[in-house]
Amino acid sequence: MCGIFFSLVPKSDPASNIDKDFSARYTVAGLQLEQALKCRGPDCDNAIVVDTKIEDNESHHLTLFSTVLSMRDPLTPQPLQSQDGGILQFNGELYDTVGRLEEYRLDLLGDDTACTNDTALLSQLFGRFGVLETIQSIRGEYAFVYYDVLSRCIWWARDCIGRRSLLVNRSRMDCMALSSLPPANPALRVDWQEVPAGEVYKLDLRTMDITAIPWSYDSCSPLKYPYAPICLDISVSQHSYDTLVTEFSSILLAAVRRRVLAMHHSRSKPDTYAILFSGGIDCTLIAYLTAVCLRDHNAHIDLLNVAFENPRINTGFNTPDRVLGRRSWQELTCLPEIQSCRCDFRFVEINVRYSQVLESKTSVQELMFPKCTVMDFSIALAFYFAARGVGTMFSCPLAAAAGDDAPAAEEEYSTPSRVLMSGLGADELFAGYTRHMTSFARGGYEVLANELALDFKRLHERNLGRDDRVGANWSKEFRYPYLDEEVVDFALRCPLDSKLRVVGGENGVREGKWLLRQFARHVGLRNVAEEKKRAIQFGARSAKMEPGQGKIKGTAKFV
């Protein structure tokens, strides 16, 4: 996880006055972003300033400021400047899904370890193959800004799913700013908006024109989506569901393994991994597969479970997600396959008092911008404290179930893992929301398909940017196995009746996320397989916490 700030401003006559608040709107210092970006990347920070004189055209100043959260050796400072003068700011992880990265590394630098870092490799690839060809061939969760000095172009983008945050401000045609975070000052952030996923952007410094190159399903497009469009096939007789479940489990295991193996820890102590854990089916399957990946490792897997003291409900921290989390943790530990693993699960109860919510209210609002609704705040609040990872750690399910007086707990445990695995994406891809049931009831599988396509298409705008900004504040990086390109491709190709099925005849029970539930049943997680979807803000009780808020709609603007 890294922090990115980039600005482009005209180099003006010192005697002229372009704009009174010009400096504040286009410098990392003026926007007071430096410290916030260092929270995202505490290991290294650096700035490069470039003067772009192009023949008789007006010269511009480019300022590139980056912070780095180092995930593996060697630490590679950013911004990274290549031998040809190109400058790269990169935030994310690349995964060797299609076997191309290792091929590139060997072809570019042989056994030179300088190319083992994702940023260094991407810089080399941009210089050799160009931005579009490189982006088409890589897989991963990322956002980047790249100055191509040879073509005098600025490139920027989020990955085609949008799993990392990037914001843009172009309130003036002769200026532009990009940042992982919005300014804290409300007066300075009004012109900032999220960079849409699904497009790669190029600004030509010679003309100041911006070109958007879209990802497409068209085979002739320079950027072709690495996954298929949603399948409209609903013919039950054409499918072997046992085969589908087996294929799904294999693909999801590979996605988890890619994200687990990309973590590097100190060899002097057991490795620690962490999962955002409500106890629901999505995250419990991720926990199970993480243990499978680590079965021969002396590792700890922290299950981070957050609960809020909600004065409007006044039931303490015994929230639905706390009860479910403990139960699912116990079911996990009872599986024979898990009991034979060398790794172990630890349950981390993160209890958030109402006073802490009030203290953090402004910070969460600043981080989640441009999202601004009551629902966004309640979700962001849950991820903010869950990602912090500070709570009470239990190593035995029976001790946790005993409550506050249970022994064998460390009062102020803080997970050392810099990576948090998330189950986000399962509901959007496999029909996990109530509205999917409603869509199916209204118009069958055709209407359901349209709803699922819409949900996946807007993930970058509704969820991913906000969650990245909130979680990264604690120097933590979210990783999304369900949004792995291979998993997405499988999910979109799957027949619709493997996602939402009517069990027990035409008027039977409608079961969403059927494939996940069958997988859970297959590995022995039978109770987890029967759990219904509960949104995090209701499961953790971070929604509508103030007295009198009960009737406020989630879509209302947050005050």
- Domain spans of the chain, in order of start: 2-214, 240-425+474-486+516-539
Mean pLDDT to the nearest integer, 217-244: 82
The confidence band for 312, taking pLDDT boundaries of 50, 70 and 90, is: confident
Rounded to a whole number, what is the largest CA-CA distance in the chain? 80
pLDDT at 241: 81
The answer to whether 160 touches 166, Cβ cutoff 8 Å, is: no
Q: Is the preceding omega at residue 186 within 30 degrees of 0, hence cis? A: no
Task: Please check the confidence at residue 237 and state whether its pLDDT lies above 80.
Answer: no
pLDDT digits (tens, 9 = 90+) for 164-207: 999 999 888 888 999 999 999 898 888 999 999 999 999 999 88
pLDDT digits (tens, 9 = 90+) for 55-76: 556 678 899 999 999 887 778 8
The confidence band for 113, taking pLDDT boundaries of 50, 70 and 90, is: very low
The answer to whether 33 touches 179, Cβ cutoff 8 Å, is: yes
Report CA-CA distances (Å) from 237 to 233, 234, 240, 242, 497: 11, 9, 8, 13, 11
Topology agreement, domain 2-214 and domain 240-425+474-486+516-539: no
pLDDT digits (tens, 9 = 90+) for 400-442: 665 544 545 556 899 999 999 999 999 999 999 989 999 998 9
Q: Which amino acid is at 241?
A: Y
Answer left, alpha or beta for residue 92, where phi above 0 means left and psi between -120 and 50 means alpha. Answer: left
Task: Please check the confidence at residue 16 and state whether its pLDDT lies above 80.
Answer: no
The pTM score is 0.93
What percent of the chain stands above pLDDT 90? 64
pLDDT at 98: 57
Query: What's the first-to-final CA gap in the chain, in angstroms?
Result: 30
The confidence band for 106, taking pLDDT boundaries of 50, 70 and 90, is: low
pLDDT digits (tens, 9 = 90+) for 281-301: 999 999 999 999 999 999 999
The per-residue pLDDT of the chain, averaged, comes to 87
The DSSP code for 224 is: B
Query: What b/e readout covers 6-36, taking b as 16+ CB neighbours within 10 angstroms?
Result: bbbbeeeeeeeeeeeebebbbbbebbebbeb
Q: In what order do the strands lie in the sheet with 271-276?
A: 409-414, 390-394, 344-352, 299-308, 271-276, 419-421, 477-479
pLDDT digits (tens, 9 = 90+) for 518-553: 999 999 999 999 988 888 888 888 887 776 665 666
The answer to whether 138 touches 101, Cβ cutoff 8 Å, is: yes
| CATH class given for the domain over 2-214 | alpha beta
User: Can you name the CATH fold of 240-425+474-486+516-539?
Assistant: Rossmann fold (3.40.50)
The answer to whether 273 touches 417, Cβ cutoff 8 Å, is: yes
Task: Please check the confidence at residue 474 and state whether its pLDDT lies above 60.
Answer: yes
CA atoms within 13 A on the CB side of 505: 1
pLDDT at 108: 59
Three-class SS of residue 223?
coil
Non-local (6+) Cβ contacts of 241 within 8 A are: 498, 518
Mean pLDDT to the nearest integer, 38-49: 95
Answer left, alpha or beta for residue 444, where phi above 0 means left and psi between -120 and 50 means alpha. Answer: left
pLDDT digits (tens, 9 = 90+) for 492-507: 999 998 999 887 666 6
Active-site amino acid positions: 2
Rounded Cα gap, residues 511 and 521, in angstroms? 14
The answer to whether 228 touches 489, Cβ cutoff 8 Å, is: yes
